[in-house]
Structure 1
Amino acid sequence: MSTAAVYADIEIEAIRQVVATIQHSQQNELVDEFVGLFREDAIWTTGGGKRLFGRAAIAEFTAQVLPGAMRTGTATYEVEHVLFIRPDVAAVKVVQRYFDETGQLSGQGSPMYVMSKEDGHWLLTANQNTVVADS
C-alpha cells in the first residue's frame, strides 16, 4: 500500500470519528460536544434552510433546537464518500437516517460537510444539511 493510500485511510478514519461524534452528540442532545466540532468561523445551513455564520450563531441555534429533539426518535450518521480537496480539506458526504420512537425509518438527510484539518484535528467548516425528498 502506498504512503498516500495509508495517509488517506488514516485521515478517513479520523473524519469518520468526527461524524461518529456528531451522531453521539445528536443522539444524546449534547450541545457543547456538537458545537465543539465546528471551526470558530464555520458556516452551516440547516436542513430547514437557516443560514448560520460562526460558532456562536451555531451554538445559539443548537441550544434552542437540540435539547428535547430526540424525545420522538433518533438519527444515525454514516460517511458515504470523502473527497480530499487538499490533504487538509475534505468534502464529506453523509447519509443521515431518522428513526421514530418505534425504530422505524421516518426520513433521511444528505449532509455535506466540508472539513478542514486544524492543529491536527478535523473540524466542520462549511456545511449544508439537506432533507432527502420522497421519490
Structure 2
Amino acid sequence: MDRDTAVVDARTREVETAAIKELVAVLEHSQQNELCDEFVGLFRADAIWTTGHGKRLIGRDAISAFTRQVLPGAMKGSTATYEVVHVLFIRPDVAAVKVRQRYLTLDGEQIGNEGSPLYVMAKEDGQWRLVACQNTEVAED
C-alpha cells in the first residue's frame, strides 16, 4: 500500500472519529452501569488488555472473566468518565486512541489519579473493536 492510499481523508477521519468516540461512550456506559456483557462485547475475540495495575489479559474470555470479578459493585460509590483526546489513524481501519479516564465521586469530585488508556482499535465488518489496550495511571507530580 502506498502512502497516499494509507492517508485517511478529512471527511472519512471525521466520520470514523465519531464512530470511535461512540465506542468509547459505550465503554463508559457499560462501566458506569456495570454491564459486563456490553463491555466485553467491545473487544475483538483475540484482544489483549493490560489493566491499570499491570495484569495481562489475552483473549475475550480472559477479559470477560476479569471483568466479571471486578466490575459488579465497582461503581457503588463512584463513577468513571472517558474522554477521547487523540485519534491516530494508522490505516483507515486501524486507529490508536488516547483517552482521558477520570474516577469521580457520585458528586463529581475526582478520586485519586487520572488514567491515560491507549486503545488500538480495528474496524471489522463495519464496526470498530478494541484490539490492544493498555491502561496507565497518571502519577501526580
Residue 134 in structure 1 maps to residue 140 in structure 2: yes
C-alpha distance in 2 between matches for 1:24 and 1:103 = 16
Select the residue among 81, 84, 99 that pairs with 1:79: 84
Matching of residues 1-135 of structure 1 within 5 Å: 4-106=9-111, 107-135=113-141
> Across the two proteins, how many residue pairs are aligned to each other?
133
Q: Which runs of 5 or more residues in structure 2 are unaligned?
A: 1-7
Q: TM-score, normalised by structure 2?
A: 0.92
Q: TM-score, normalised by structure 1?
A: 0.96
Q: Which runs of 5 or more residues in structure 1 are unaligned?
A: none
More strand by share: 1
C-alpha distance in 2 between matches for 1:7 and 1:51 = 33
Give the aligned residue type for 1:110: S
**Cα-to-partner distance string for 1:36-92 (whole Å, 9 max, x where unaligned):** 000000000001110000000000000000000001200000000000000100000
CA-CA distance at 1:103 after TM superposition: 2.0
Give the aligned residue type for 1:97: R
Percent identity of equivalent pairs:
65
| RMSD, aligned CA | 1.0
